[in-house]
Amino acid sequence: MKKKLLVLPVLILALVLFGSPGVWAQESGIIQATATVLSSLTIIGNHDLQFGTVTPGINKAVDKSSVGFAGEWLINGVAGAEISLDFTLPDSLILVDSTVGMRVNFSSTDASYSDGTGNQATPTGVINPNGPSAHDLGPAGDMTVWIGGTVYPSISQTGGDYTADVILTVAYTGS
């Protein structure tokens, strides 16, 4: 009788414990992947590069420090972040509604920038617009870029209004 009393609970326990193998043997752990995305870069073309009236046969330069004539961009992003600056420069200005061109050139010192510690007359640094470069945004996350250039009208340059796009592309470098 005592044997029976002992065997029965043993069998019940065995069924409970071994009846559904595999279920008890699983364990899960959950973690989070986390990331904080910082603010995007913004860039505004604030001022066109204006050569004004050009006389055929006479080259005309606009200096990057020339307020009201030099091209100007305003950039904003994460304070202190390094950004790349990449200019896409035209080799000619094109007469509106035609294919007539007028040569334009940008020298290795024709662009400059301020990170808030300089201004157009005394910029933070000089940029060669003919290749990519990298600079840090200022303490407020701002940067202003200026560009000058020189046009070379021919003696027989057709009269009229000439234009071309000057593009500045900026991107975070991640540094």
Contact criterion met (CB below 8 Å) for 60 and 151 = yes
Residue among 66 and 133 whose Cβ is closer to other proteins? 133
Q: CA-CA distance, 79 to 136, in Å (whole number)?
A: 8
Stretch touching other proteins by CB under 8 A, among 6-14, 101-109, 115-123, 155-163: 6-14
Amino acid residing at 158: T
Q: Which SS3 state, helix, strand or coil, does residue 63 take?
A: coil
Residue among 7 and 58 whose Cβ is closer to other proteins? 7
Minimum distance between the CB of residue 170 and other proteins, rounded to whole angstroms?
10
Which residue blocks in 79-145 are alpha helix, DSSP H? none
Residues 26-45 that bind other proteins (CB under 8 A): 26-41
Q: Which SS3 state, helix, strand or coil, does residue 89 take?
A: coil
Q: Does 21 bind other proteins (CB under 8 A)?
A: yes
Residues 42-71 that bind other proteins (CB under 8 A): none
Q: Which SS3 state, helix, strand or coil, does residue 77 take?
A: coil
Residues near other proteins, by CB under 8 A:
2-3, 5-7, 10, 13-14, 17, 21-22, 24-41, 78, 81, 171-174
